[in-house]
Structure 1
Amino acid sequence: DKQKAWQRLDDTFKMTPLPPKTARPPGAYLEVRGRKAKLRALPLENVTADWDGHGLASAIRIGKSNRVVSVPSPGLIDGNSAVWSPDRSQLAFVAQLDDLCTPNTISSAAFIADAATGKLHELERAAKGLAVEWVADHKLAIAGDGGVAIYDLEAGTQAIVEGAKGLVAPRQRPKCTAAEPEPPDTDIPDPEPDLPEHVGPIPPSDAGGH
């Protein structure tokens, strides 16, 4: 098996190879296999949760404030999408709203959580996945169905980035679960009616003389 070759994204957004046998650098990283890339961010600094095998959890706990954050059921927080703002005051993440992946239906939402209060605010929903990335302490870039928008959280405004279609971080899409099949028809047919032991003409009785 080939060993993993680590590369670092530099300030010019180019991948720079690291020396052979370099251990994985701390923090989030992209796992690239062929033409597919997956974002790996867990474990996440100052956040604990009961993550499942896909990096999903119904609730998270923010360490310093001990606040518990959850999204409306049956939504699940995608831990590999979560990223702290530069000043560590807010946590942005993507949550999957369901896991059935019905075509052309809204299935993901982007949220921010206040680290001190745990207050949750939803910013955007999408049917084709979302990616989030901080560009300043209170400015968040979101890549969604309509392209890329910059949300100014202090001003309460958003601006579309013309021509932009995505971020460095790949879009997070729901981990699909096949819909449960319809249960089989369990109607029990009516039983056959009880029949007498003898069917046919009743024989004459043997009463009387010859």
Structure 2
Amino acid sequence: MKRNRTFSGLLLLAGALLVAAAVGLALLSVWKSAAQRDERTEAAHRLQMLTAEPIAGVIGDHADEEMPRLELNGRDYIGLIELPEYGVSLPVAADWDTGLFPFRPACYSGTLYSGTLVIGGSGGEDCFAFISQLDAGECVMFTDARGVRYAFTVSRITHHAALGAAELEDPESLLLLFVKTGRTYLLAHCVTA
């Protein structure tokens, strides 16, 4: 009888610890999300100030070069992605992070200069939430860390159950944006405007 009470007490304690851990993780996630939103806002503002008078760029001009990085508050950025029709202006982190709370949007692979840039985002309100509303023909701007601005047009939107190399290698698209929405991936294929 005493053994059953001890076992029941241990189970209750374990349950309470699991609930406390879940609440702690939820609070940490909310805090981290807010901190990243503030970081994105500050980085976007600073990148806009540094690239206040952008120069028009042409894909292929620096095809053999790596994209320059701009370090702000300990994080490297490759530029700023803008969607004027949505009032969206987001800094793009230089490195893809697979940690528990990754910064998005970020460069997944490729370079803008060679026409192979793939940028991944999250579906959060302060990131790529707009992507599900994008239509073919809409404008996407990317300003690199040098202040060179490239204009793109969304050529098509595709949906995929899984995301692999085949989906991310599109020779017709010079810029590819992707985000996971629920159980599917949404890709915005962009060509020069």
Q: TM-score, normalised by structure 1?
A: 0.26
Q: Which has the higher contact order (CA 8 A, sep 6+)?
A: 2
As a proportion of its length, which structure holds more strand? Answer: 1
Instruction: Report the TM-score, using the length of structure 2 for normalisation.
Output: 0.27
